Amino acid sequence: MQFRWSLPVALTITLAACATPQATAPLAAPAAPAVATAPATPALTSGLFLQNFDRTVRPQDDFYRFVNGTWLKNTEIPADKSNYGAFTLLADEAEKNLRVIVEQAAAADAAAGSDQQLIGDFYRSFMDEAKVEQLGLAPLQPELARIDAIKDRQQLLDYLARAQMIAVSNPIGAYVLQDAKRPDVYTIYADQSGLGMPERDYYLGTDGPLSEARAKYQQHIAKVFTLSGRHDGAAAAKRVMAFETRLAKASWAPADLRDVEKTYNPFDVAGAMKAAPGIDWARWLESMGIRHDQLIVGQPSYFKELGKAINGVPLATWKDYLKLRVIDDFSPYLSQAFVEENFDFHGRTLSGTPQLKPRWKRGLDETENAMGDLLGKEYVQRHFPPEAKQRMDALVANLLKAFDVSIDELEWMGPETRKEAHDKIRNFTVKIGYPEKWKTYDGLVASRADLVGNVQRARAINVRRELAKLGKPVDRTEWYMTPQTVNAYYNPFANEIVFPAAILQPPFFDMKADDAVNYGGIGAVIGHEISHGFDDQGRKFDGKGMLRDWWTERDNELFLARANALVKQYDAFSPIAGMNVNGRLTLGENIGDLSGLAVAHKAYLIALGGKDAPVLDGFTGEQRFYLGWGQVWAHNIREDELRKRLKTDPHSPSEYRANGILRNMPAFARAFDVKEGDQMYLPPDQVVRIW
C-alpha cells in the first residue's frame, strides 16, 4: 500500500519477510527450535532447545552454529517460503490460529456489516477460485479504462492521486504521520516509490545476478501485457523498463533513506512546487480530497526529476507504466495465469521461492491486509493469556531501569547529554499485547463474489482512515502492528516501544522457563527496541518524540566514532561470495542488537537480586542468557532472498546478529572462556560499546 506505516527510522527487530504469518506442515524434531513445549517439572525449566545444538562446534569459535547447528542442517526451507526460522515458526502458529477464525467466520451466516460477515465473506471471495478464474482480467477493466482516458498532464497527476486511494504503487509514495519536528501534529509525507524491482541497484548494478534480474523483469513486463490481451508486449516492456530505470537513477540509495535529517524537508505547497517545479502538488492533494498546506518531501532531488518526467515522458509510456502497476499489484486476485506470472517473477526470481503458497494461506494474508484489527481482536480473546502481560511488565521495568543505569556508566558521555538521555528513558511509553482501541472499518462492504472489489474497497477504507487524521489531535493509543504479528517496533515520533501478543512465546518468552533464557530472548528484544531510541537515527529524537539535536558536539563525535567502528565490523562480514553486509544500512539494527543485549544482561543481573542462578541442563545462568539470545536467530534463507536483503534490508543476516554482537561482549567471553585464538575472540581495543 502507498499509505502505510512507514518511518525514516527502521522500526522492527525481526527479519522483514517473516513478519507476515505463514504456515507449514509440522517438522519433526530436531527441525523446529521453538514451538514444542518443554517437559513439565515442578521447577522452572532451562528454556533451552538442546536438540538443536551442534556439540561438534565449539561455542568459542561459532556460537551461532553451536546453538543452532543441528537445526540448520536438518531443516529444509518449505517450498512456499524464501526463508525459515524461529520467527517463522511462531508466525506459523499464529497463522494456524487465524485460519480457524476466518474459516469459522466464512461458514457462519452472520449479519451484514458485522465483523464476522466482513471477515468471512472477504475470505470466501478469495477462496472462490472458480469465480475468480471465470472473471479473468474483467474486474480490472474499469481501472484500465481510467488510465486509457488520461488526455493530458493534469489528468495524469489526477490519476497518480487516484492510485494512492486504491494503494497502487506509483512514483509518489504518500503516507500520513506526525511531523517529525511537531510530533503533536499530523502531516503528509511524500517519498520516492513506484519501482517494480526492490531498489535502484537492481536497475543500475553491473554484477551478474542483477543483470539477470533486469532481463527477467523486462520479460515479466512483456508477459503481463501479453496476458492482458496486447500484441505489443515486448515493445511496451522496453519502454516501461527505460522509464523505471530513469526513476531508479533519480532514487536515493537505501542507506540514505534512513537518514531522518536528510529526508525531513518540510514545505508549504508553494514551496514544494518551487522545489519540484514539474509537480502541481496543490492539484495532487486536492485530487485526494486533502485540505492541507504542509507536506514533507523525502527526497527533493528525486521529485525534481519526477516533475520533469511528468511533463516530458510521452503519455503513452505513462499509461503503459500505470497499467503495469495496476495489473501487477492486483494479479494475486486475478485468474491463475496472472497469479502464476506474478509469483514467477516476484517469488521465484527475486526471492528464490520455488512454490506458490496454498490458496488458503494467501487468502488469510489478504484478509489480514484488509482488516487486520478485526482478526486481531478475535485472536487476542482466544490466545493471549493475561499472565503473559504481567510478566512482561516486570521484564520491561527492569530493562528500562538497566538502561537508565547504563547511561550513568558511560565514560564517554558528558552531563548535559546524559541529562537529556535520562529524560528520554523516563518518557518512554510501553505497549504490550494489543491496543486499547481497535481500528474500525465503517462503511466497508465485503461480497462473496467480488474479490477485486473487496480489495479495492478495503484499501480505500484504510487510506481514508489515514487521511482523516489530518487536522485532528494525535492518537497516542494507535498501534502500527496487529497483535498477531511476530515482531516488535520502536516509534520515535511517540517515543514508544510496542510488543504484539504473538511474539510473547518461546523461544522469545517462555512462561515455564528460568529468567536467564527469557532475558536473553524477549529481554534482548525489549532492549533492542529501547536502544532504537538511541541508535544512529533514533537518538536524533528527544523524549517528546521531536526531531531535535540534544547532543553536545563532543558527545556527538564520540558516539559517531563508536558507530563507525561498528559499521567497519559489519562491512567485513560476507555471507555470499562477492557480497558483504552494508554496515551503514544496517547500523541502526546493529546498534539495537548490541546495546539491547548489553542492557538485557544488566537487567538479568538486576532480576537475580544478588542471588546465584542455578545450573540447568549443564549451563550456568550467564551461559543460558547468551544461549537464549543465540537460539532466537535460528534461520535458513535462500540465496536469492539473501542477496535481495543485503541490498534492501536494514537488518543484518541472522548469523551476524548472533555472532557479530557477542564478539563485542566481554561478559560473553567470560561466560564461555573465549580466549585469543578463538574465532569469537575480539581484541579489547576493537570491542565496541555504545550504550
pLDDT single digits (tens) 170-216: 999 999 999 999 999 999 999 999 999 999 999 999 889 999 999 99
Distance CA 50, CA 54 (A): 9
Average pLDDT, rounded, for the chain: 92
User: In this structure, are 469 and 531 located in the same domain?
Assistant: yes
Boundary-marking domain end, from 333, 348, 376: 333
Instruction: Note whether 328 and 347 are within 8 A (CB).
Output: no
**Per-residue confidence at 18, pLDDT binned at 50, 70, 90?**
very low
Q: Are residues 93 and 206 in the same domain?
A: no
For the whole model, what pTM was predicted?
A: 0.91
- Note whether 165 and 303 are same-domain residues: yes
Lowest mean pLDDT across 41-55, 61-75, 567-581, 670-684:
41-55
672 in the same domain as 534? yes
Q: Is residue 341 part of a domain?
A: no
Domain end point (choices 286, 316, 333): 333
Same domain? For 164 and 81 the reply is no
Which residue, of 333, 352, 385, is where some domain finishes? Answer: 333
Is 596 found in the same domain as 505?
A: yes
Q: Does 345 fall in a domain?
A: no
Please indicate, yes or no, if residue 239 is contained in any of the structural domains: yes
Dist CA 655 CA 680 (whole Å): 12
Closest CA to 431 of 500, 481, 485: 500
**440: pLDDT strictly greater than 60:** yes
Please, which residues bridge with residue 430 across strands? 497
Question: How many Å apart are CA 369 and CA 52, to the nearest integer?
Answer: 34
CA dihedral (481, 486, 491, 497) positive or negative: positive
* Residue 343 domain-assigned (yes or no): no
Residues 368, 329 share a domain: no
Within a domain: 268: yes
Identify the CATH number of the domain in which residue 204 sits: 1.10.1380.10
Q: Would you mind telling me the total number of residues written for the chain in this entry?
A: 691
What whole-number distance in Å separates Cα of residue 167 and Cα of residue 181? 27
Rg (CA), the chain: 25
State whether 378 and 230 are in the same domain: no
- Considering the domain architecture, whether residues 89 and 201 belong to the same structural domain is answered as no
For residue 405, give the H/E element and its range.
helix 386-408
Residue 37 is assigned to a structural domain of this protein: yes
Same domain, 518 and 613: yes
Contact 421, 561 (CB under 8 A): no
Same-domain pairing of 409 and 281: no
Arithmetic mean of pLDDT, 348-369: 97
Q: Is the pLDDT of residue 13 over 50?
A: no
Whether residues 372 and 507 fall in one domain? yes
Number of domains making up the chain: 2
Give residue 189's domain range: 137-333
CATH code at position 488: 3.40.390.10
104 in a domain, yes or no?
no
Grid coordinates 517460503 are at which residue?
81
Cβ-Cβ contacts under 8 Å for 177 (sequence gap 6 or more): 6, 7, 186, 187, 189, 493
Measured torsion, CA atoms of residues 96, 100, 106, 110, in degrees rounded to the nearest 10: -140
In a domain, 647, yes or no: yes
pLDDT at 343 over 70: yes
The pLDDT of 121-144, averaged and rounded, is: 97
